Amino acid sequence: MTTAKKPWIADFVALGALWGSSFLFMRFSALEFGALATAAGRVAIAAAFLLPIVAIKGKLGELKTHWKKIFFMGIFNSAIPFACFAFSLLSITTSLSSILNATVPMFGALVAWVWLKDKPAVSRIAGMVIGFTGIALLTWDKASFKPDAAGASPGLAMLACLLACLCYGIAASFAKKYMGGIHPMVTAAGSQIGATLGLLVPAIWLWPARTPSSTAWLALLVLGVACTGVAYILYFRLIEKAGPQRTLTVTFLIPVFAVFYGAVFLSETVTPWMLLCAIIIVCGTALATGLVSFKASPRPH
């Protein structure tokens, strides 16, 4: 019996499908719960799902030892980004928000350059320029900050997406600098607890007066258990099987699933211009993260 050459492929595709679907479920939930309550419910459910796994692994002591920095990271890695994306999906399509989400590794490289002094090569700097050019092209004609008849502001929604991506980049550098040696599942569960605590008061304050429907509750449950809890397990297993660099490329797979789900379930239109800008962003991000690179040819003497 032969073993598959790439046993991580199934986890890779599953992770892309789960995180791609998170935009769909966030939209269903946010329409009735609101952005902050959606984010709070998501992280609370994920924490309840992941914490018993940490207990089974006998890692509760490690969580207790490092809880301050793990909880702090949860604010930047989950609380703020999840709230920002839920807010954005009240105004823009799941397709557009997922394409903007593909810039996370690029923001990560930028933050590492500024904070950790991880000076990138020329090709990575070029990638950042290309990636941010793609963002500008994608959002230029949609960046209206005037609320429409329904009170939605596409410009603010896109800024919220980019703020979420920046927070992910900050969290990545924080983890690299301060969280070495902590078990990944401890970080995953603890960060969700920290995010829950950070969102608890504003979520209660802004909890919807009208009871959300069973569809919204189901969307929130799937968001917390599958798109966050199970996805984290797949993510860390993928890092172990395929390595962090390959795992990073799942960011490029997420918009493929998100665009598909948006078109099928929400009848969202994907224009050729959006696809072109998405390609530019992905190429820029691939260069910015070092997944691909170019070297200058030596000058003749």
Answer whether residue 111 shows pLDDT above 80. Answer: yes
Query: Is residue 215 within 8 Å of 105, Cβ to Cβ?
Result: no
Q: In terms of pTM, does the model score above 0.85? A: yes
pLDDT of residue 140: 77
Give the residue among 77, 45, 52, 90 at the shortest CA–CA distance from 228.
45
Question: Whole-angstrom Cα distance, residue 87 to residue 82?
Answer: 9
Band (186; pLDDT cuts 50, 70, 90): very high
**How large is the greatest C-alpha to C-alpha distance in the chain, in angstroms?**
75
Considering the chain, what percentage of its residues have pLDDT values greater than 70? 91
Report the C-alpha gap between 226 and 142 in whole angstroms.
32
Residues 6+ apart with CB under 8 A from 204: none
User: For residue 146, what pLDDT is reported?
Assistant: 66
pLDDT at 296: 53
**Residue-wise over 232-257: b if at least 16 C-beta within 10 A, else e?**
bbbbbebbeebeeeebbbbbbbbbeb
Pick the most confident of 30-34, 115-119, 127-131. Answer: 30-34
The tokens for 240 are 């172990």
Average pLDDT of the chain, as a whole number: 89
Q: Is the pLDDT of residue 36 over 50?
A: yes
User: Among the residues of the chain, which ranges form H helices?
Assistant: 9-33, 35-56, 60-65, 67-74, 80-88, 94-101, 104-115, 122-139, 154-178, 184-205, 214-224, 231-242, 244-248, 250-265, 272-288
- The answer on pLDDT for 292 being more than 90 is no
User: What one-character-per-residue DSSP string does 148-174 give?
Assistant: -TTS--HHHHHHHHHHHHHHHHHHHHH
The answer to which of 21-35, 98-112, 138-152, 217-231 has the lowest mean pLDDT is: 138-152
- Residue ranges per structural domain of the chain: 9-288
Residue 2: pLDDT band (50, 70, 90) is very low
- pLDDT band of 3, cuts 50, 70, 90: very low
Q: Which tens digit of pLDDT belongs to each residue from 162-183? A: 999 999 999 999 998 998 889 9
Q: Would you give the end-to-end CA distance of the chain in angstroms?
A: 57
Q: Confidence class of residue 201 from pLDDT cuts 50, 70 and 90? A: very high
Question: pLDDT category, 144, cuts 50, 70, 90?
Answer: low
pLDDT tens for 47-93 read: 999 999 999 999 999 999 999 999 999 999 999 999 999 999 999 99
More confident residue, 141 or 287: 287
How far is the C-alpha of 248 from the C-alpha of 291, rounded, in Å? 9
Six-digit token string for 7: 């046993």
> What tokens appear for 63 in the block?
């969580």
C-alpha span between 103 and 135 (Å, rounded): 9
pLDDT of the residue at 215: 96
Say what the pLDDT of residue 4 is: 47
